[in-house]
Amino acid sequence: MREQLRILFVCSGNTCRSVMAQGLFQKMWREMGGAEENQRNPRVEAASAGTDAVEEMPASKNALTVLAEEGAKLPYHRAQTIKKDLIQEAAVILTMTGEQRRLILLRYPEAAGKTWTLGEYCGNDGDDVPDPYGAGLEKYRETAQTIKMKLRQAIPKLKDSLA
């Protein structure tokens, strides 16, 4: 049995989709029995990064608004670019698009075997999560719903990997 599972969510800028995926995952993991309410599960850690992030950029206001509406918060998030140490620490890397997956595997061939698009991981090949960047709040809400739908499929698979 694994002692700890580190999951890394990746998008382009690490200010919208991967931030929402990280926050929603943490909330949904607890709700789906991954940890006791109000208790951090030491066996699972979620993080996020971007393939082309501007370091230290805050999450978009709309992403934070949607997370708050969902009861998931990451108010102190700062963007980070994917780096070798993040790749090495992650047991599972979930990208929002096939292009992001391709970039990671091109830059870090050692990530093969643990990097998928969120859609692939759920069994929905070629099903990218659309980027809401620059759009209104409603588009962010739609993107969050897409991410939640995929996480509902991914979390049981991730739980199985702990057994």
Least confident of 2-11, 78-87, 131-140: 2-11
Q: Which positions are catalytic? A: 11, 17, 131
**Which pTM was predicted?**
0.92
DSSP 42: T
Tokens of 77: 């998030």
- The domains of the chain, with CATH numbers, are 5-162 (3.40.50.2300)
Confidence tier at 162 by pLDDT (50, 70, 90): low
Question: Model confidence over 45-96: pLDDT tens digits?
Answer: 999 999 999 999 999 999 999 999 999 988 899 999 999 999 999 999 999 9
pLDDT at 6 over 50: yes
Question: Model confidence over 98-112: pLDDT tens digits?
Answer: 999 999 999 999 999
Sequence-ordered alpha helix ranges (H) in 91-136: 98-107, 118-121
Confidence tier at 37 by pLDDT (50, 70, 90): very low
The percentage of residues in the chain with a pLDDT greater than 70, rounded to a whole number, is: 91
Other Cβ atoms less than 10 A from the Cβ of 38: the count is: 6
Q: Strand pairing partners for 11?
A: 50
